[in-house]
A and B are shown apart, each in its own frame.
Chain A
Amino acid sequence: MKKLLISLSLSVSAIASSAVADEVTDFRDGFLKGEVTWSDVETRAKSEGEVNLYYWGGSDPINIWMDQVVTPALAELGVKFNPVRITGTKDAVDLVLAEKGAGKGLGEGSVDAIWLNGENFATLKRQDALFGAFADKMPNSQFIEWNPEDPRSLLNLRDFGVETNAAEVPWSGEQYVCAVNTSRVDKGNVPGTFAELKTYLEANPGKFTYVKPPHYLGNTFVQAAIYAHNPDGTGGEPFQNSIDELGVEELARLITPGLEYLKSLEPLLLGAQSGSARYPEDNTALDGLFLNGEIDFSCKFGLYAVAVGLSNGTYPEGAEAFVFPEGNMIKNKNYLAIPANAPNPAAALVLANYMTSVDSQVTKLKFTGMPAGVDPWKLSEDDVKALTEASPGLVGVTQAELDANTAPDTNATLVDVIEATWLEYIERDSSDQIETIVQRAADNLSK
Chain B
Amino acid sequence: MARQKFKRALNSRLSPFQKIYLLLVAGFIVGPFVPLLIQSFAFRWAWPDLLPGTWWLEQREKSLLPLAWDYVISPYSRVWEATLNTVFIGAVVTVICLLICLPTARVLAREEFKGKASFEFFLSMPLIVPEAAIGIALLMIFIKIGLAGSYLGIILVHLIPTIPYMIRMLTAVYQGLGRDFEEQAMILGASRWQILRLVTLPMLLPGVVAGALFTFLVSTNIFLLTFFLGQGKIITLPTLLFSKISGGTLDASAAGITLVVTIPGIILLLITERFIKEEAFGKGFGN
Contacts and interface: CB of A to CB of B under 8 A. Distances in A.
Contact of A84 (B44, B144, B232, B251): B232
A110 B149 contact: yes
Interface residues of A, number: 50
Given A98-B140, A287-B249, A64 B232 contact: no
A91 interface: yes
B52 to A, nearest CB: 9
Given A68-B76, A98-B143, A311-B63, A58 B249 contact: no
Given A85-B232, A86-B243, A313 B43 contact: yes
B103 interface: no
Interface string B231-265: 11101000000111011110111000000000000
B146 interface: yes
A81 to B, nearest CB: 13
B64 interface: yes
A20 B242 CA distance: 37
A60 B71 contact: yes
Contacts of A285: 247-249
A58 B244 contact: yes
Contact of A87 (B59, B64, B243): B243
Interface string A80-92: 0010111110011
Contact of B64 (A54, A63, A294, A366): A366
Given A54-B232, A58-B243, A87-B242, A312 B67 contact: yes
Nearest to A95: B231
B54 interface: yes
B144 A10 contact: yes
A293 B231 contact: no
Interface in B144-162: 144-146, 148-149
A47 interface: no
B139 interface: yes
Interface in A55-106: 57-58, 60-61, 63-64, 67-68, 82, 84-88, 91-92, 95, 98-99, 101-104
Nearest to A292: B47
Contact of B66 (A52, A64, A284): A64
Contacts of B1: none
A82 B146 contact: no
B54 A102 contact: no
Nearest to A54: B232
Nearest to A284: B247
A423 to B, nearest CB: 20
A58 B76 contact: no
Interface in A184-210: none
A437 B149 CA distance: 43
A291 B145 contact: no
A317 B231 CA distance: 39
Contacts of B77: 60, 63
Interface in A149-182: none
B36 interface: no
B267 interface: no
A17 to B, nearest CB: 10
A293 B231 CA distance: 38
Interface in A279-296: 280-285, 287-288, 291-294
B101 interface: no
Contacts of B67: 312
Contacts of B251: 60, 313-314
Given A10-B144, A87-B246, A291 B46 contact: yes
Contacts of B44: 291, 313-314, 316-317
B248 A102 contact: no
B66 A283 contact: no
A63 B254 CA distance: 13
A292 B46 contact: yes
B143 A104 contact: yes
A312 B43 CA distance: 7
A1 interface: no
Nearest to B53: A317
Contacts of B253: 60
A10 B145 contact: yes
A85 B148 CA distance: 17
Contacts of B252: 313
Contact of B46 (A82, A293, A312): A293
A354 interface: no
B65 interface: yes
Interface string B35-46: 000000011111
B178 interface: no
B149 A61 contact: no
Contacts of B286: none
Interface of A: 6, 9-10, 13, 52, 54, 57-58, 60-61, 63-64, 67-68, 82, 84-88, 91-92, 95, 98-99, 101-104, 110, 280-285, 287-288, 291-294, 311-314, 316-317, 366-367
Which 7 pairs, one residue from A and one from B, show the smallest C-beta to C-beta distance?
A284-B247, A292-B47, A313-B44, A288-B249, A313-B43, A285-B248, A102-B143
Given A63-B77, A293-B47, 10 more contacts: A58-B246, A60-B76, A68-B76, A84-B233, A92-B232, A110-B149, A283-B247, A313-B59, A316-B46, A367-B64
23 contacts: A58-B243, A63-B77, A64-B71, A67-B75, A85-B235, A85-B243, A86-B243, A87-B242, A95-B231, A98-B139, A110-B149, A281-B248, A284-B247, A285-B247, A285-B249, A287-B249, A288-B249, A292-B48, A312-B67, A313-B54, A317-B44, A366-B64, A367-B65
